[in-house]
Structure 1
Amino acid sequence: MADGIAFAVFSALVWGGYLFALKRYFSAYPPSVVVVTANTAAVLWYLPVVLFAPAEGPPVETVNLSVLALTAFVLLASAVAYVALLRAISVGDVSYVAPLGKLVPAFTLPLEVLLVGENLTIPQITGVGFATLAVYLANYEGTELLAPIRRAATYRPAQLALGSAALYGGVDVGTRVLLQGAGFRPDIWVLVYTGGVAAALVPRAIRKWPADFAGELPKFVVVGGFVAVGTHTMSQAFAVLPASVVSPILNTQAIVAVVLGGVLLGEDRFALRLVAGAVAIVGISLIALG
């Protein structure tokens, strides 16, 4: 349990820095191109780990039609969620988008209750309420009380971020089932996940590929290292803990992105968004500890 939580916390720090890097250095590129290039680099970074220091056990314990279908869903949903989040970051402030895009536990928890049979506690229900309040605060601009709700429903970055969070909720539950139920070896899952998401987006990326891209490859190689490390630690956590515990911890990456975006990029309404991020963390903590 402690090791799983440690992996989840470290992964949150890595992914928080990754979100900031996407806004700071990659927002000019089409999201599909970013995902394909960064994930391909991540596979190349991680392949020596699998070849020369593999984990114990078979690559996967159970392979049947249900496992294949769930794997396909996780990869495709991740690809769509990834692109939606990158698009939200490119057109909106990272300190605004991150608290919304990382409200994944608000979706993971009810899905795990319905599909996997987890029990919903009072603190966890309260945590979902705090997560919802964070959405409201992130959209508040000092106007009438219902304006933030309308903004979250109609403002494009909010729509993309919340849609991404909903998809990632399903992805987290599916990942937990594949690692714990189907018995995917975590190191193999890193390759399947990063490579599969990249493959799903190749047709879209080819149509949007920039003409003068070769000179930009070094920074994609660097960010691919972040993807490899973050996916490895995330998989280690999902292999031993319920998704309703891993997801809240993992998505505290929002607060890292909010702080970096406000301090280093000077984004507007930083104080309110920092409060929104803190409220989201409270909700996430209640969900995890409940």
Structure 2
Amino acid sequence: MDAGLLFAVAAAVVWGTYLFVLKRAFADYPPAALTVAVNAAALGWFLAGTGLTVGFGDAAAGLAGIAVPRRFAVVAGTCVATAAAFVLFLRAIEDGAVSYVAPINKVVPMFVLPLEVGLLGQVLAPIQVAGVVVTTLAVYVANYEPGSFFAPLARAARSRPAQLALASAACYAVGDVGKRVALQELAIPGTLWVPLLLAGVAVVLLPAAVRTPIDASREDVPKFLAAGALVAVGEHLTTVAFAALPASVASPVINTQAIVAVVLGGVLLGERHFRLRLVAAVLAVVGVAMIAG
């Protein structure tokens, strides 16, 4: 198996586990403050790991170029979109089951395609159009309950977790486009990109975090450090995968994290409609792969 593909698969496992951990251990924390705390821990882990392994030579060389307006705009826009996406996702799993929210949230390519067509001039192949249909079907299945044909669509329209998950997916799509531009077209080194993203998201959310701080004790520190370690590893693996593979390959593989989250949520948390939502997760992944072409 190609090394880049291995990194993408590993990233999917890490992110799927992280989604489950968020629901299991962090459901009662304010989303903005939680994100800032976890990102701060992740930044510490990443800087320590980088310093002990490859060093900061590439990062230092690329840092001066960030001041270029286009590069700064891409970094800033990606950070804002990623921050919004994550907070919306946290709010979604506050109100809904992981096995319900995850398949809906992972339809990111359904939003990426219009952005790429409109901004980057991408032409859609028939299989990609079919992928949009399959991905939309995943949202339908995730909302399915016995009743009329349109009942799941109506439920998704009324369901706050579904609305938040879809809004999060749209923001993640903006972030993904920014990430692809940053890592591929602008060639920002991964050792610089990950700290910029982690710190940038934290800075964006810091005002909200200050208004609604975390009520935590010293006993909570280990789990924040553990969550930060997961994020640091996940961001590193994701960045390496995007640098080594075409985005059309890395993105669908990494988005299989939905299956990991659904399985963990169904098996360990005993969430309702597990089998149906597992089907929805698989459909979402298949649709994503088709969209990737």
TM-score between the two structures when normalised by the length of structure 2? 0.93
**Structure 1, unaligned stretches of length 5 or more?**
none
Q: Give the whole-Å Cα distance in 2 for the aligned partners of 1:201 and 1:59.
A: 25
Q: Give the whole-Å Cα distance in 1 for the aligned partners of 2:254 and 2:64.
A: 26
Task: Name 2:144's counterpart in structure 1.
Answer: 140
Q: Give the whole-Å Cα distance in 1 for the aligned partners of 2:47 and 2:191.
A: 9
Task: Name 2:35's counterpart in structure 1.
Answer: 35
The alignment of Structure 1 onto Structure 2 pairs a total of residues equal to 289
Letter in structure 2 aligned against 1:95: S
Task: Name 1:181's counterpart in structure 2.
Answer: 185
Shift of residue 162, structure 1, vs aligned partner = 0.4
Shift of residue 15, structure 1, vs aligned partner = 0.1
Task: Name 1:210's counterpart in structure 2.
Answer: 214
Q: Give the whole-Å Cα distance in 1 for the aligned partners of 2:222 and 2:64.
A: 37
Task: Name 2:198's counterpart in structure 1.
Answer: 194
Task: Name 2:62's counterpart in structure 1.
Answer: 59
Q: Would you say 1:241 and 2:242 are equivalent positions? A: no
Task: Name 2:6's counterpart in structure 1.
Answer: 6
Q: Decide whether the 8 Å contact of 1:39 with 1:195 is kept in 2.
A: yes
Compared CA separation, residues 56 and 18, structure 1 to 2 (3 A): same
Q: Give the whole-Å Cα distance in 2 for the aligned partners of 1:211 and 1:280.
A: 36
Q: Decide whether the 8 Å contact of 2:34 with 2:214 is kept in 1.
A: no
Alignment of 1:1-290 (within 5 A): 2-52=2-52, 53-54=54-55, 57=58, 58-59=61-62, 62-63=65-66, 64-288=68-292, 290=293
SS of equivalent to 1:234: helix
Letter in structure 1 aligned against 2:232: A
SS of equivalent to 1:184: coil
Compared CA separation, residues 184 and 227, structure 1 to 2 (3 A): same
Q: Give the whole-Å Cα distance in 1 for the aligned partners of 2:216 and 2:9.
A: 37
SS of equivalent to 1:169: helix
Task: Tell me the percent identity.
Answer: 51
Deviation by residue 1:43-91 (Cα, 9 ceiling, x = unmatched) = 1001023334237643258442121112111001111110000110111
TM-score between the two structures when normalised by the length of structure 1? 0.94
Letter in structure 2 aligned against 1:16: G
Q: Decide whether the 8 Å contact of 2:11 with 2:237 is kept in 1.
A: yes
Shift of residue 206, structure 1, vs aligned partner = 1.5
Letter in structure 1 aligned against 2:12: A
Q: Give the whole-Å Cα distance in 2 for the aligned partners of 1:210 and 1:35.
A: 10
Q: Decide whether the 8 Å contact of 1:11 with 1:250 is kept in 2.
A: yes
Shift of residue 244, structure 1, vs aligned partner = 3.2
Q: Give the whole-Å Cα distance in 2 for the aligned partners of 1:212 and 1:12.
A: 29
